[in-house]
Amino acid sequence: MPTSTQVQLVRRPQGWPVHEDFRTVTVELPDLGPDQVRVANEFLSVDPYMRGRMNDVESYTPPFALGETMTGGAVGRVVASTSDAVPVGAAVTHDLGWRDVAQGDATRFRVVDDGVPLSAYLGVLGMTAFTAHLGLLEIAQMKPGEVVFVSGAAGAVGSMVGQIARLKGASRVIGSAGSPAKVALVQEKYGFDAAFNYKDGHVYQQLRRAAPDGIDVYFDNVGGVHLEAALGTLNRDGRVAMCGSISGYNEEHAPPGPRNLARITQQGLTLRGFTVGFHTQHYPAFLADMREWFTTGQIAYDETVIDGLDHAVDAFLAMMRGETTGKTVVSL
Ligand SMILES: NC(=O)c1ccc[n+]([C@@H]2O[C@H](COP(=O)([O-])OP(=O)(O)OC[C@H]3O[C@@H](n4cnc5c(N)ncnc54)[C@H](OP(=O)(O)O)[C@@H]3O)[C@@H](O)[C@H]2O)c1
């Protein structure tokens, strides 16, 4: 009987998750029904939004159920199939992560081209890069010649935002990140014009120095003091893509909001929140751009690969703590 080893949430974390909030189980898999597939996962995605799903709070995605296997982005290869559309040997992406073997209806699995490293479908060719493209171009409506600031600049989404801004004609791209190595990386490899380490001092002052003429677009991955600093720096009619606020995800009490909301009125700013799953109509535009940039070598990307399902929780925590660079994935 085939088996699947899976990670389950057994307790709602208070503040930072700990290992005792999770357990690993091995379950026997039933025979395949009609139009079903079994997939050996090769890479699992760990993402900040998963922290929100560990809380018992209704959001755009339902919370993880206690005692059930968590879900998340994954890519793998079909090892058994009763579906003509998703045959044995096909590479597939799907949302049955946090397990080594996934099984379900063929419609849950999307066949992808085998010609690239499969982990790319979780990052540069996947959800995080789509989020960057969507947030920058559709949500914030970035135009050529504008000055763009992105926080979390060395992460999966942020590293794409800066490069897409440059490829779409931004006049200046500024990033913030949490270590000297990340600050160097975003300038040297991803082509940001300026970057600073937000742990080095006052975020507003560092941003002002990097953007003497102000910014037109802020892509917010972090929230908190970064958002306040950006509001203080945005030019007239500036826009903010409210993508995430990771600085508060592990806080037991919500941090206070920006103290300078009056800037929104004074500068005529637009702040727009979004979650990528509600904007899939823009996916083809992303894919068309990214395919071209990827195949012509115009986009750089990094992955932090952590080996083994046993280390999936460690991988998640390392990503949340800023110990990883680029897209963080677990290899199986
Ligand atoms: N709206 C959507 O549809 C959508 C989709 C995907 C992702 N997101 C959001 O986008 C953001 C980035 O996600 P990602 O997948 O690209 O993750 P990521 O940037 O690859 O990893 C998270 C990064 O957050 C940074 N961070 C952690 N705590 C921080 C703090 N207190 N202040 C500043 N930075 C902090 C760390 O980098 P440093 O070392 O630089 O601190 C860490 O590397 C998250 O807020 C996520 O929730 C939203």
The residue contributing the CA closest to ligand 1 atom 46 is 244
- Express each pLDDT in 268-286 by its tens digit: 999 999 999 999 999 999 9
Report the separation in Å between the CA atom of 152 and the middle of ligand 1, taken as the mean of its atom positions: 5
Length of the chain: 332
- The residues, any chain, with a CB within 8 Å of residue 151's CB and separated by 6 or more, are 158, 175, 176, 198, 218, 219, 220, 221, 222, 226, 230
- Residues within 6 Å of ligand 1 by CB: 47-49, 128, 131, 152, 154-158, 177-179, 182, 198, 221-222, 243-244, 246-247, 274-276, 319, 322, 324, 328
What single letter denotes the amino acid at residue 203?
Answer: V
- Express each pLDDT in 69-108 by its tens digit: 999 999 999 999 999 999 999 999 999 999 999 999 999 9
Coil/strand/helix, residue 240:
strand
Q: What is the pTM of this model?
A: 0.98
pLDDT of residue 127: 98
Q: Which tokens belong to 151?
A: 């926080």
Residue ranges of E strands in 99-179: 101-105, 110-112, 147-150, 172-177
Taking phi over 0 as left and psi of -120 to 50 as alpha, with beta for the rest, 282 belongs to alpha
pLDDT-above-70 percentage for the chain: 100
Residues of the chain with pLDDT under 50: none
* Distance, CA of 223 to CA of 211 (rounded, Å): 19
